[in-house]
Amino acid sequence: MQAKLVRATGHLLPEETLQDYHRISYKERTTQWACVFKSRHETDLKRRLAYDSSVLTREEVLQLYGPDPDLIDRARQWLSRHGVRVLKQDGFILWLQGSLGQIEETLKIPFGEKDGQFMPLREPLVPEWLAPHIVGFVGLENVSKLYPRFRFPTHPEELANNGQGFFPLDIQTAYAFPASLNGSGLTIGLLEFSNGFNPQDVMTFWNQFGIACPNVSFVSVDGTPNDLGVNAYDLEATLDIEWAGAMAPLANLVVYEANAGSSDTSFALSVLKALQYAYNDVLNCPDILSISYGDGETRFPVSTMQAWDMVARNAALIGMTIFVASGDQGAYGLHGPGRKICHVDAPANSPHMVSVGGTHLLLNSQGQIVEETGWTDVNNNGASGGGISQVFAVPAYQEGIPLPVKAGYHVGRGVPDVALNADPDTGYAVFFQGMWTVVGGTSVASPIWAAITALINQNRVQAGKSLIGYMNPRLYGIDHASTFHDITVGNNSYDGVTGYDCTPGWDAVTGWGSPIVVSLVKSLS
């Protein structure tokens, strides 16, 4: 007797018009994809994250919370019955490969295509015994993309250092970095996508400011090479490395490079691969990750975002902290044309990552903050990403704060959690392709927050404590008056979409605000 089949929801793209896609003609086209499983003890796992800060090993995570091995074996057999290859099991993930025709037959879905892009036109059908135990499938489409979150100044009159942008010491002084901490013994992983760097660029940057060159390792997740920073978009990897290294100079830096998506590669799958690779990396053992990419959450299948969050949740269990840029399109949130409504960025919407928003920062001649406001659109050059997720529910750590839910939307995870200078008009000095330039965006704020967390972890280790790991609940449980600059002026309206206002306490533009690092280190240690 054949098992009853049911729809597995969350695999369609809300922003795409199905009528624009015609049925695929070349079904032999091969692609990789993944089946992502839930924990077999979801309730216990959530309780542990909420109330138990002890760190597990990767083996313990799988032993205590991994999917049922018998279920995995049964799923393997079912998924491969029409020729799909199971490449390997990797914890909560089965990595798969097959032709679009084989996938159509396996999941009983039609694929549509447009301009070389493909996606399912209907939700997959899976056995009734499997449906409750999977997050879903990732890689069934190659339409969704993530974009780097950096921008250039258009009004340079407020740039520091006579138009050169902020230098490392400016940021360390403004945000009160403790001089006694440098990130020694910690490792920061930077997730990059077809985005290389030139070692000479980053060394020149550090040498210019008298910073001992940090140790930088390059790791290819899927065979994507380091192109040595020859393309314009390689600025992202370069600024991530330069500023993370400047703020925590004795931390190790690991660049995890994955494919940015092509005609036969799903970017959504590349992100999952990069996250899972970093999670599994026992050679470099990253303690902190930073992601400077994103797009509005309606640009991705819900199952994809939930799969990313599943890896982030597992990372929290082993003591890893993940930061992600909240986006530079304000409350509009989308890269390019789209519906003029509020969109929260993904993966910044993940409740198990720390989302980093942006501010506009002005200093006096002594390096002290004169004014810091939410990054507000005044010249059509971006605003701090933020808002209320329509995908993820309110996490426990946000239940005690008033979330600003607009009419027509439902309550959900609030974004961002924290902030840091990001307005390109008060941007940062970066050395790229042999030249100095100035860059802003939440993509700079995220790696700096990763570096701050290296200092926090260094202090914790010196005190004989474990890594801070799942940082979100702790950020919401400390005294914010002594640890953050509360940002109360500004908004993130952008591109015709009315956004949110900065308010006392948490807000959907800057979260809790920008850090007073020396106090934050003490409070979180």
Domain boundary among 136, 163, 196: 136
Domain residues for 118? 3-136
Is 466 known to be catalytic?
no
Q: What angle do CA 331, 394, 323 make, to 5 degrees?
A: 65
Co-location of 239 and 98 in the same domain? no
Q: Tell me: do 194 and 270 sit in the same domain.
A: yes
Phi, psi (degrees; rounded to nearest 5) at 20: -80, -10
Task: Write out the DSSP string of 290-319.
Answer: EE-EEEEGGGS-HHHHHHHHHHHHHHHHTT
Q: Is 116 exposed, middle or buried (0-12, 13-18, 19+ CB in 10 A)?
A: exposed
Which of these, 378, 379, 427, 435, lies nearest to 152 by C-alpha position? 427
Domain identity same for 156 and 14: no
Q: CA 407 to CA 413: how far, in whole Å?
A: 16
Q: Can you tell me the mean pLDDT for 236-247? A: 97
Same domain, 204 and 81: no
pLDDT tens figures, 266-291: 889 999 999 999 999 999 999 999 99
Domain final residue, candidates 100, 117, 136: 136
Q: Quickly state the pLDDT bin for 265 (edges 50, 70, 90).
A: low
* In a shared domain, residues 127 and 204: no
In this model, does residue 149 exceed pLDDT 70?
no
| Phi/psi of residue 501, nearest 5 degrees | -100, 150
User: Within this chain, do residues 151 and 289 fall inside the same structural domain, yes or no?
Assistant: yes
For range 38-54, the mean pLDDT: 91
| Res 489 pLDDT > 70 | yes
Question: Which listed residue (16, 234, 236, 309) is catalytic?
Answer: 236
Among the listed residues 443, 493, 514, 523, the single catalytic one is 443
Tokens 């990313």, residue located: 308
Quote the CA–CA distance of 324 and 149 in Å, as a whole number: 10
pLDDT score of 128 more than 60: yes
Mean pLDDT over residues 166-184, rounded?
98
Question: Model confidence over 87-117: pLDDT tens digits?
Answer: 999 999 999 999 999 999 999 999 999 988 8
Could you report the per-residue pLDDT of 341-383, keeping only the tens digit for each? 999 999 999 999 999 999 999 999 999 999 999 999 999 999 9
In eight-state DSSP terms, residue 109 is: -
- Residues 159, 128, single domain; the answer is no
CATH of the domain at 301: 3.40.50.200
Q: Is the same domain home to 159 and 235?
A: yes
Q: What is the pTM of this model?
A: 0.96
Last residue of a domain, one of 136, 162, 195: 136
Residue 257 annotated in active site: no
- Residues of the chain above pLDDT 70, percent: 99
Q: Reply yes or no on whether 15 is catalytic.
A: no
CA 305 → CA 102, 117, 255, 476, distances in Å?
24, 20, 22, 23
Residue 101 amino acid letter: G
Say what the pLDDT of residue 197 is: 95
Within this chain, do residues 445 and 377 fall inside the same structural domain, yes or no?
A: yes
Report pLDDT digits (tens) over 65-84: 999 999 999 999 999 999 99
Q: How is residue 58 written in tokens?
A: 């990767």
Please tell me whether residues 303 and 419 are part of one structural domain: yes
pLDDT in tens, 306-350: 999 999 999 999 999 999 999 999 999 998 888 999 999 999 999
Average pLDDT, rounded, for the chain: 95
Going by DSSP bridges, is the β-strand pair 387-388/293-296 parallel, antiparallel, or unpaired? unpaired
Output the CA torsion sign for 509, 512, 513, 515: negative
Residues facing residue 90 across a β-bridge: 93
pLDDT at 263: 44
The one-letter amino acid code at 363 reads L
Are the beta carbons of 146 and 193 closer than 8 angstroms? yes
Residues in Cβ contact with 129 at an 8 Å cutoff, skipping those fewer than 6 apart: 3, 74
Distance of alpha carbon 267 from the chain centroid:
13
CA distances from 17 to 9, 13, 350, 359 (A): 17, 8, 26, 36
Structure tokens at 14: 């809300």
Q: Are residues 460 and 488 in the same domain?
A: yes
In the chain, the number of structural domains is: 2
Question: Which contiguous run of DSSP H or E holds residue 523?
Answer: helix 517-523
378 and 497 inside one domain? yes
Query: In this predicted structure, what is the pLDDT of residue 122?
Result: 96
